[in-house]
A and B are shown apart, each in its own frame.
Chain A
Amino acid sequence: MEIVVSMAIGVMGGAGVWLVLRPRTFQVLIGLSLLSYAVNLFIFSVGSLSTGKEPIVKPGLPADLTNYTDPLPQSLVLTAIVIGFATTALFLVVLLALRGLSGGDHVDGREEQP
C-alpha cells in the first residue's frame, strides 16, 4: 500500500507542478489544487498509515501508536484543507478581477511578447 500512496503523491505533485508553470490562470488554479492534494496526503502519511485505528479514544486501550494512528498530522491537514479552500476561492476571485481588468487570462495580465 505504501508504494501506491507514494505513487499517488508523486503523480498528483507532478501534474500540479506542470500546471502551475502554465501561463493560463485556470491552469494554475487547477495546478494549485492538485499540489495541495499531494501535499495534504504527504503530510497525512507522515503520521504512518494504518487501517482501522481511528484516533478516537476507546476505554481500556493503551494510548500509544500501536492502537491509534497519529492524530497530530490529521488535525494539521484538516486545517490545511479548509485554508486551501479559502485561498482557492480568493485566487479564483482575483482571477476573475484580472479577467475584468485585462480582458485576458494570462497570469501576468497580458500576453507575452516574444
Chain B
Amino acid sequence: MDQLPVSLLLVTMLPFLGSILAALLPTNARNAESLVSALVALAVFVSFALLYPQVSTGEVIVERHTWIPQLGVDLLLRIDGFAWMFAMLVSGVGLLVILYARYYLSPEDPAARFYSLLLGFMGAMLGIVVSGNLVQLILFWELTSVFSFLLIGYWYHRQDARRGARMALLLTGGGGLALFAAVLLIGHAAGSYELDAVFAAADQVRDHNLYPLMLTLLLVGAFTKSAQFPFHFWLPQAMAAPTPVSAYLHSATMVKAGVFLLARLWPVLAGTDEWFWVVGGTGLVTLLLGAYAAMFQNDLKGLLAYSTISHLGLITLLLGLNSPLAAVAAVFHMMNHATFKASLFMSVGIIDHETGTRDMRRLRGLYRSMPITGTLAIVASAAMAGVPLLNGFLSKEMFFAETVFVSAQPWIKIALPLAATLAGVFAVLYSLRLAHGAFFGPPPEDLPRAPHEPVRWMRVPIELLVLACLVVGIIPALSIGPALATAARPVVGGTLPAYSLAAWHGFNLPLVMSLVALAGGVLIYARYGEHLRARTSNRVPLLPLNGRQLFESLLARLIALAGKIQQLTGTRRLQPQLLWMLVIAGAAGLSSALIVPLEWGHRERIPMTPEFVLLWLLGGSCAIGAAWQAKFHRLAALTLLSLVGLAVCITFAWFSAPDLALTQLAVEVVTLVLYLLGLRWLPRRIELDGDLRRADIAWWRRRRDFVIALLIGSALAVLSYALLTRDAPLSIAPFFIERALPDGGGTNVVNVMLVDFRAFDTLGEITVLGIVGLTVYALLRRFRPPRESIARPAQQRTALRQFGTDISQRHDPAELPPDYLAVPAVLVRLLLPLALAFALYLLLRGHNKPGGGFIAGLVVSITLVSQSMASGTRWVEARLNLGPQRWIGAGLMLALLTGLAALPFGYPFLTTHTLHLDLPLLGALHLPSAALFDLGVFCVVVGATLLLLTALAHQTLRAQRQAAVDVEEAG
C-alpha cells in the first residue's frame, strides 16, 4: 500500500477544523460538542490505526507540501513507528477524555470553549508528533503552550487558574524560544531542518563545536515542557485546570512532548558524556524530588502532579543513560505512564465531582460508597507503584535492570540502583496514600456532598485504560510487544536491542529491588501513614526552596524593575516630552551643518524694500508680544497673533503666492473666531502666591526655556538664510508648470497640483478635516462647562448694574433682546448674497486664477458665521437648515466618486479628464473633471468649518440654559 487512503495533512488538520466547528456550536450544547469532538478524535484514531501495517515494517511515511518556497521550507509530515505510537496515544487518550469531560463539565461551564480548545490542543500535539521538519515542530510546540495556557485558565474567574496558566505559559513558551534557538543551531550544523537529513548528519551534529550550546538550549526547551527540575514547579500549579485537561495535557500528552523530543533526537544527540551527565542527572534529581514531594501532598491532584514529575524524570533518566535498551524502556514507560496516569486523574476527577473535595485529609473510606471507581483507582495506583502483573511493573523492572547494568564510574554503579530503589519506595508510599488513604478506613465525615458512584459513561474511559494496564501487565509480549517494537525501533536508530517482555524473568536483582521498594513503601506507610494524613501544612519537609515562590517573586521584581526603568526614562508630563522633542529635533537639524558647512551662498539677492522691513519689524514684535502676553492677557496675545498671521499673509502675497495669501487670510479669520469662542471657557488666571520653592523652579525653568528658544530661533534663522542665499538645486517644478494646462486643464499650477497632480493627498487632507469636524462635535456633545464660567461675563454684569441696558431686559438668557446689534446684523445680512457670489466666483476661477475650493469654502463659512455673530446662533438656525455633517459627507463622496470615475475608462484613480467645449456665446470652454473634485473640497471645508464653529457656539447656549435651570432651582 504505497498510497495512503487519505491525506495525512487532512488528518492532522482535522482537529483544528473540528475546533472551529466546536467554537461555532451553541455555548452549552454539551452533547453536540462532545459528539463532534469524539467523532473527530475517532476519525484521527482510526486513520492512524490503519497506518499500522505500513509503519510496523519500519517504513517511514512521508508527505510533503510546499509551505514557504522562498526559504525552502516545506510542510513535511513524517510518520515512523515512534510518531505513530504517539499519534495513537494523543488521539486515543483524547477520545476517552472527550467522553469523560461530557459528564465532568457542569451545565454552567461553556462547553464550546472547552471542546474547541481541547481539539485545538489535540491538533497542535499531533502536529508536533508528525512533523518531519524541526521548524514546523517548533510552531506546533508553541501552539501547545498557547492552548495549554488557555485550558489551564479555563475557569478564568479563579485567581489560581489565571496564575497557574500564566506560569505555565511563561515557562513552556519561554522554553520554546530556547528550543527554537537550538533547532536553528542543529539545522545549521546538519545543513537542513528536515528530520531525515538531521538523522543522517548525526555525527556531524555531535562533533560540532557548538554542540554544548545546542544541547543546553534544547534541554531548556524539553525540560520546561516536561516539568523537569528546576522547571518542575509549573505543573502542580497547572492543576487549577479542569480535571479532564489535567488528565489529557498534564499526564498523557503535553508534558510528554519534552521527553518525546528527547527521544526523537536521541539518535542524533545522545551518546556523549554531556548528554549522560546533564540528561541523566536531571532525570534522577527530578525522579527523586518529584516522588519525595508527592508523598507530602494533601491534594489528590497535587499528588498526581508530583508523581507525574517523578515519572517524567524516570523517562528522562532512562533516555540519559545512553543505552539503547534504556531508550526502549523509556518508550515503554511513556506508554504505560500515559495509561495509568490518565485513568488516575479521571478517577480523582470523579472523587472530586462526587464528594466535592480533593483534600486527602478529609477523604477516607470511599470504597463503601463507590466500589467500582475505587477498584479502578486502586488497580491504577498499583500500576503506578509498580506492582507485578500490571504494566507499570514491567517498565519499572526494565528501569531497575538498566540502573544495575549501567557501566560508568564505580560509584554510580552503587548509587544509581540505590537511588532508583529509594524512588521506588517513595512511589509505593504515595500510591498507597492515594489508594488506601482515600478508599479504606472509617467512613468519611462532613464531606461537601454524599459520595456515590458516577454515571456509567463517566467510568467507561477509566475502565478501558485500566483494562489496558492489566492486559499489558499480564501478557505483554502478545498485547503490546509488536507495537512497542514498532515505536522503539526509530528511537534507537533502526536496530532494536535484545529484550524480553514478560511478567516473570526469574529471581534476579531488579526483582529484588522491586520487592524491597514494595516492602519498604508498605512498611513506612503502615508506620507513618496516619501521621502524613494528620499534617496540616502543605510544605514539603527538608526542601527549603519553593520554586513557585522564587518564580513569582522574580516575576514581581522584574515587573517592578520595568516600572522603575519606565519611571526613570519616561514621563507622563507634557513639558519634558516637548522639551526633549525640540532639543533632539533641533540638534538633528543643526547637525546637518557637520556634513554641509553652514555658509552663505551667492544667489542673486532680492533688493530690500523699506515697506517689507517695516512689515516684519511689526510682525516680529507682535510675535514676541504674543509670547510675552499669552499667560495673563489672552485677548491681547490673540490680537498680536492675528497680526503675525497677517504679516505672514502679506509675505505670501509679496513673493508670488496669491493662493497662499488668500487661504491664509481666510484661515486667519476663522481661527480668530474659533479662539474667541473658546476663550470664554478658560479659567481666570491667578498669580500663584508665596511658594518660594515653586517660584524658584519656575524662575530656573524660564531661564532655561528662554535659552532654548533663543538657540532654536537663531538656528532656524541661520538655516533659512543659508538656504535662501545658496543656488537652488534642480527642481521638478518645470514639469508641473509645463503639464498643468495640457494634463490638468488649468493654468493655476498650485490649484492644478492640489486637485490633480497631488489629488490623492488632498483627498486624504479633506478626510482629516471632516474627521476633525466630527470629532470636535462628538467631544463637545459631552462637554460640561465649568460652574464658575456659567454666570454672565463680568462686563455684562457691570452693564446691568450701572445702566440697565437692553441686555438686562431679557428673561430667557439664551434669547437675545430684540434689535440687539441691529445695524451690524442688517449689514451682515446684506453681505450674505455678495459673499456667496464671491465664493462662487473664487470656486469657478480657481483652476485658472488664484482661488479654488479651499478658499471659497472658507469664505462661505465666514459669511455664515458672521450671521450667527450678529443675529445669534438660534436666529440663524431657525432660518437656515445647514446640516454641516451632510456637507462633509456629500463633499467626500463627490471627491471620491470623481476619482473613481476614472477607473472604468482604464485610467488610474483620480485621473482628470477635460471636456473641451466650443459654445456659441461663451467661446472655448474647458471643463476638467478636477473642478468636480474641487467642488467636493469646497463642500467638506464648508461643512467641517461650520461644524467646528457651531459646535463651540452651542456651548454658550447650553451654558445659559444650565444657568436658567439653576436660577429656577434656586428660586
Contacts and interface: CB of A to CB of B under 8 A. Distances in A.
Given A2-B725, A56-B849, A82-B941, A21 B713 contact: no
B724 A13 contact: no
A34 B608 contact: no
Interface in A8-38: 8-28, 30-31, 33-34, 37-38
Nearest to A37: B648
B580 to A, nearest CB: 11
Contact of B655 (A19, A38, A69): A69
Nearest to B648: A37
B728 A107 contact: no
Contacts of B647: 8
A24 B775 CA distance: 23
B705 to A, nearest CB: 4
A5 B674 CA distance: 28
A99 B952 CA distance: 14
B134 interface: no
Contact of B769 (A2, A17, A82): A82
Which residue, B713, B714, B786, B952, has most C-beta atoms of chain A within 10 A? B713
Interface in A83-107: 83-90, 92-97, 99-100, 103-105, 107
Contacts of B784: 100
Nearest to B654: A51
A53 B616 contact: no
B708 A89 contact: no
B750 A74 contact: yes
Contact of B762 (A50, A55, A79): A79
Contacts of A96: 678, 681, 780, 783, 955
Contacts of A5: 616, 651, 720, 724
Interface in B727-754: 728, 731-734, 736-738, 740-741, 747-750, 753-754
Secondary structure of the A contact surface, majority rule: helix
A50 B758 contact: no
Contacts of B620: 7-8, 11-12
Contact of A57 (B708, B747, B785, B951): B747
B626 interface: yes
Given A51-B606, A63-B734, A38 B670 contact: no
A2 B786 contact: no
Contacts of A31: 627, 630
A18 B606 CA distance: 31
Interface in A42-88: 42, 44-58, 63-65, 68-72, 74-75, 77-79, 81-88
B697 A83 contact: no
A82 B660 CA distance: 10
Interface stretch (B191-199, B567-575, B820-828): B567-575
A51 B630 CA distance: 34
B582 A21 contact: yes
A100 B656 contact: no
Contacts of B712: 13-14, 17
A61 B968 CA distance: 73
Interface in B666-725: 667, 670-671, 674-675, 678, 681-683, 691, 693-694, 697, 705-706, 708-710, 712-718, 720-721, 723-725
B608 A9 contact: no
Contacts of A103: 683, 786
Interface stretch (B409-417, B443-451, B637-645): B637-645
A54 B557 CA distance: 66
B768 interface: yes
B627 A79 contact: no
A10 B582 CA distance: 15
B709 A14 contact: yes
Interface of A: 1-28, 30-31, 33-34, 37-38, 40-42, 44-58, 63-65, 68-72, 74-75, 77-79, 81-90, 92-97, 99-100, 103-105, 107-108, 112, 114
Given A7-B620, A15-B626, 8 more contacts: A14-B716, A26-B637, A40-B648, A49-B606, A70-B733, A72-B753, A89-B948, A99-B682
Interface of B: 572-575, 578-579, 582, 603, 605-609, 612-613, 616, 619-620, 623-624, 626-627, 630-631, 634, 637-638, 641, 644-645, 647-648, 651-652, 654-660, 663-664, 667, 670-671, 674-675, 678, 681-683, 691, 693-694, 697, 705-706, 708-710, 712-718, 720-721, 723-725, 728, 731-734, 736-738, 740-741, 747-750, 753-754, 758, 761-762, 765, 768-769, 772-773, 775-776, 779-780, 782-786, 848-850, 854, 941, 944, 948, 951-952, 955
A-B residue pairs, 10 tightest by C-beta: A14-B713, A10-B717, A18-B709, A6-B721, A15-B627, A63-B737, A71-B749, A57-B747, A63-B738, A2-B724
